[in-house]
Chain A
Amino acid sequence: MTPTTWPEPFPDPVARPADEPFWQSVQAHRMALQKCAGCGHVRYPAAAHCPQCLSEAATWQQIAGTAELVSWCTFHRQYLPAFPPPHTVAVGRLAEGPLFVAMLLDGAPPDGAAGRALSIDYVTDPEGRVLPAFRQHPAGRDAKEEETQ
């Protein structure tokens, strides 16, 4: 599969030492989240303690890469050089539980699209930095099915 690229450098993330393993996993196209060794709760963003049971013990677990569309918005005004309008950002609920925010690579969905299946893809900027992003492959499939019906 050809890698997906982005024409402009992505903005820097907030510098949080707890996020370093997350960014390393993303760079390797194997996005991972922290899983509590005490109670199994998967948390995002990363933190030293589990917010459910307060345990410090945790492992990093690669995610399945699937999510369900919860909401989205489309920027018609440019705030950041990397994202000329229209730019759509979605919130998806990952199969592991947490909500996750990322750009939606195939444009704004129509009203009523909440609940659609999303998948995680990876996008690389000109500096080689990788971000996870959402795709709504099933949306394309829905559209084709609608045509044939």
Chain B
Amino acid sequence: MSAGQATPRLSPGGAAVIGVGHTDWAEDYRRTRAGERPGTSESYAARAFVRALADSGIGKSEIDGLIVGPTTPYERTAESLGLNPRWGGQEDAVGAVVNAVMAIQTGMAEVVALVYGNDQRSAKVQYGGPQAAGGDRYLSYIYHAPWGLTSQGALYALMFQRYKEIHGITERELGEVAVAQRLAASLNDNAIMRKRLTIEDYMEARYICAPLRLYDYCLINDGGVALVIASADRARRAAGAAVGIRGVGRSDLNAGATTFEPRLTQFYRPAQQAAGRASYEMAGVGPQDMDAVQIYDSFSCHIPFALEGFGYCGEGEAGRFMRDHGISLERGLPVNTAGGHLSETYMQGWAHQIEAVRQVRGECGARQVPGCRHVQYCSDVAGKAFSIIYGEPA
């Protein structure tokens, strides 16, 4: 950290998650596949909110802050839930958690509801092609379409090919991600894809955009997730099991983003390192203290990049780390313990937050990491790197 830069701190106690809720995405997936429409983005968000509220044990009237996800309009979502908060916003998953913590820290709100719903499967949202989702926010998603470069998967295929060129990782080593996360999903009743995979299954699957294969891609499904985050003081008086947000960090790489400069020349590493460091300093823990890691995984190769950038292995070592040390519930460092975007549900990082909370609570049943005290969430979507450390409340 450069001289004169203030170190961000959480006041004593910080903030804590006091309630989590989600929709039944495995059941809704079956229904959408059968041509039904079990909900809309708004109704999934509302269902998840009702469950998170029940989980927290507090009344709706106590909520004085609201953050909605990017897929539902703020006003309409608040209107449908009958909420008139004194503070509000709209953010993606990790931004929502960080902003809720900041709102609580500054006294703008005491109890913040975070609400996300997405009907992307039944609404047939396109992540590739001329109307690719996200193009309004990230020019790189649509700028190169005249040459046939489209879909976010292709951007990760470019990134993984570059990483192969520099560090020599094999496609078989990358297959460890899909296999490990499917193992986790096989132990999760609410995961969409539960049939175990082998490395051979992975290698035999077709390429979608080489060097990435079918099992390197996330699911597309409907669902909703909600969290209730409160000041540590308020959390102590809540009925539910509170999980502390012990540290947060963020760092961006925006220069050259449209032509993939930070993606292809740095693999977002400097941003990951800075965000990780900030969160570790705030929480007073490091990668060695983490019992599990939740990593934003729209594509499998997020995992090796994050393992290096957030300090779990050295530069260029992720392939060997995944193969020899392991990243599953059975071996090594448990990563994406519910199955992640690849096998559980594609809730754009929201389900990763509630899985981190539940692992620390110790309520994950067959997929529970024994003695789980600290869980890190990492993401680096489009070069905006974030880290959140969940743990026992301070």
Binding site for B on A (CB under 8 A): 10-14, 44-45, 51, 70-77, 79-80, 82-83, 86-87, 89, 91, 98-103, 108, 111-114, 131, 133
Known: A14-B139, A71-B159, A75-B208. 4 other contacts (CB 8 A): A74-B207, A77-B208, A80-B130, A91-B264
Q: Indicate if B87 sits at the interface (CB-CB under 8 A).
A: no
Binds A, one of B160-168, B287-295, B314-322, B340-348: B160-168
Q: How many angstroms from the CA of A71 to the CA of B139 in the assembled complex?
A: 19
Q: Which among A10, A77, A108 has the highest number of chain B CB atoms within 10 Å? A: A77
Chain B 148-173 per-residue mask, 1 if CB under 8 angstroms from chain A, else 0: 11110010011101101110000000
Which residues from chain A contact B139 at a C-beta distance below 8 Å?
A: 14, 45
Known: A45-B139, A77-B209, A111-B165. A10 touches B146 (CB 8 A): yes
Q: How many angstroms from the CA of A45 to the CA of B159 in the assembled complex?
A: 20
20 A-B pairs with C-beta separation under 8 A: A10-B147, A11-B130, A11-B148, A13-B143, A13-B146, A44-B259, A45-B259, A70-B162, A70-B264, A71-B162, A73-B157, A73-B212, A75-B154, A76-B209, A79-B148, A79-B150, A91-B259, A91-B260, A101-B149, A133-B147
Which residues from chain B contact A112 at a C-beta distance below 8 Å?
A: 165
Q: Residue on B with the closest CB to A115?
A: B165
Which residues from chain A contact B159 at a C-beta distance below 8 Å?
A: 71
Binding site for A on B (CB under 8 A): 128-130, 135, 139, 142-151, 154, 157-159, 161-162, 164-166, 206-212, 255-256, 258-261, 264-265
Smallest beta-carbon distance A51→chain B, Å = 6
Q: How many angstroms from the CA of A21 to the CA of B146 in the assembled complex?
A: 17
Q: How many angstroms from the CA of A103 to the CA of B149 in the assembled complex?
A: 8
Which residues from chain A contact B144 at a C-beta distance below 8 Å?
A: 89, 101
Smallest beta-carbon distance B352→chain A, Å = 26
Smallest beta-carbon distance A119→chain B, Å = 16
User: Are B147's CB and A131's CB within 8 A?
Assistant: yes
- Count A/B pairs, Cβ under 8 Å: 109
Which residues from chain B contact A131 at a C-beta distance below 8 Å?
A: 146-147
Which residues from chain B contact A70 at a C-beta distance below 8 Å?
A: 162, 264-265
Q: Residue on B with the closest CB to A11?
A: B145
User: Are B162's CB and A75's CB within 8 A?
Assistant: no
Which of the residues B129, B146, B154, B165 comes within 8 Å of A73, measured between beta carbons? B154
Known: A70-B264, A73-B161, A74-B210. A103 touches B148 (CB 8 A): yes
Smallest beta-carbon distance B169→chain A, Å = 11
Q: How many angstroms from the CA of A48 to the CA of B290 in the assembled complex?
A: 46
User: Are B165's CB and A114's CB within 8 A?
Assistant: yes
Known: A89-B144, A101-B149. A114 touches B208 (CB 8 A): no
Known: A73-B158, A80-B150. A45 touches B258 (CB 8 A): yes
Which residues from chain B contact A13 at a C-beta distance below 8 Å?
A: 143, 145-146
Q: Residue on A with the closest CB to B143?
A: A14
Q: Residue on B with the closest CB to A99?
A: B259
Which residues from chain A contact B211 at a C-beta distance below 8 Å?
A: 73
